[in-house]
Amino acid sequence: MKKILLIIIDGLGDRPISQLNNKTPLESAQTPNLDLMAKKGICGLVETFRFSKEKVPSSEGAHIALFGYKDYFLGRGPYEAAGVGIKLKKGDVALRVNFGTIDNSMKVIDRRAGRISKTELLIRKLQGIKIDSVEFLIKKSYGHRAVLVLRGRNLSPRISDGDSHQERVRVKRVIPLDESKQAKFTADVLNKYLETTHQILKEHPLNKKIEKQGKLPANYLLIRGAGIIKETPSFKKRYGLKAACIAGGTLYKGVAKIIGMDLIKVKGATGLADTNLKTKFLAVKKAIKKYNFIFLHIKATDTFSHDGDFQGKKKFIEKIDKEIKTLFGLKNILIVITADHSTCCSDKDHCVEPVPILIFGNGKNSASRFSEKDCKKGKLGKIKQTNLMKTILRINKNKN
């Protein structure tokens, strides 16, 4: 059996865009290396997973599904916590945080506070807060993101999100999702915390300075994805593969860590548009000697999509294509390239369009290009994301 490299290009899929001659950013991009792999590999489409309550796929749901762990989903918070190195205790409730901007009427102006990245001073000011015997731990993730952990007694993850994923609407109060005393207490204490931190952030010297510069202050914490830690079967136990992860984003590192993958630190892997793709691909070449499954995550395509920047997305895809030739020449390896979900530039959000998949190293269907349109014609057809690992392992076992 060959070793396996799974490359997830976050938010890769899209819809045709008029300014790109009715092509998607991937179809419009110049990708000779990916196209060569498509011609020599097997292509298809992946129908991305979403939970019944979701209108579009979530990053956390899609990643859990593609590894075959949807029945062990913890909520986004615990994965983010693991990704930043917080060891959760029994009873802790963890949440994902965005530093956002709200106005005086409590309406959300920007869910990412102008994509602020230097939040260290703000986070330092929020340390040590304790309300109703609950300790609040907050730690920086990357960019405008952070992780919040509630530590105390009688806590519950059965609470609503404080982030509505919408702008120009009032911030949402957190409410209990069941009638338990624990859920009500958790929602109440979290609302008190959000009010307290809003006042602290609003008066912080850094935000005052930012406002004087005409920029958006990071004056509110938008929280979502409450969850608690639970036992999860290891990737090695389920698939018999010794696995490692290379990623910049904390969610992806956290998912990998919780399912038992080793995390490989790579200098310059930021999870942002400035991430060093070359060092990430070089790290793959080194790690593949030790591991027989590598999960490589690339984030910025999704970020450009959320900003509606289709030209930036196109150029970043071309950058990936340029650097991926670093992997050419690797022997005894199956390379799988796909996405967690589509992120449509027109919506600036995740969307339900299926994502292209390319499997290179065992079999051929001679697709002309790696794109949504061309992969649709590939002999893989359309597969469910929850069956991705089964499909990869089946193809890896087949004799070419």
Query: pLDDT tens digits, residue range 28-62?
Result: 999 999 999 999 999 999 999 999 989 999 999 99
> How many C-beta neighbours within 10 Å does residue 18 have?
8
The whole-number pLDDT of residue 363 equals: 87
CA angle 242, 69, 359 (to 5 degrees): 60
64: left (phi over 0), alpha (psi -120 to 50) or beta: alpha
Which ranges in 126-174 belong to alpha helices (H)? none
Please give the Cα distance from 8 to 16 (Å, whole number).
Answer: 21
Spatial strand order of the sheet with 382-384 comes to 262-263, 243-246, 293-298, 3-9, 333-338, 355-360, 42-47, 382-384
Residues in Cβ contact with 254 at an 8 Å cutoff, skipping those fewer than 6 apart: 78, 79, 80, 81, 82, 83, 84
pLDDT at res. 1: 86
Amino acid at 127: Q
Question: What pLDDT is stored for residue 2 in this prediction?
Answer: 95
Which domains occur in the chain, in start order? 3-74+231-397 (3.40.720.10), 82-227 (no CATH)
Q: What is the pTM of this model?
A: 0.91
What pLDDT sits at residue 400?
A: 56
Q: Give the Cα separation of 149 and 31 in Å (integer).
A: 42
pLDDT of residue 96: 96
CA distance 76 to 255: 9
Of 160, 167, 222, whose CA–CA distance to 193 is shortest? 222
Regions in the chain scoring below 70 on pLDDT: 399-400
SS (H, E, C) 246-268: ECCCHHHHHHHHHCCCEECCCCC
Report the alpha-carbon distance of residue 306 to residue 193 in Å, rounded.
28
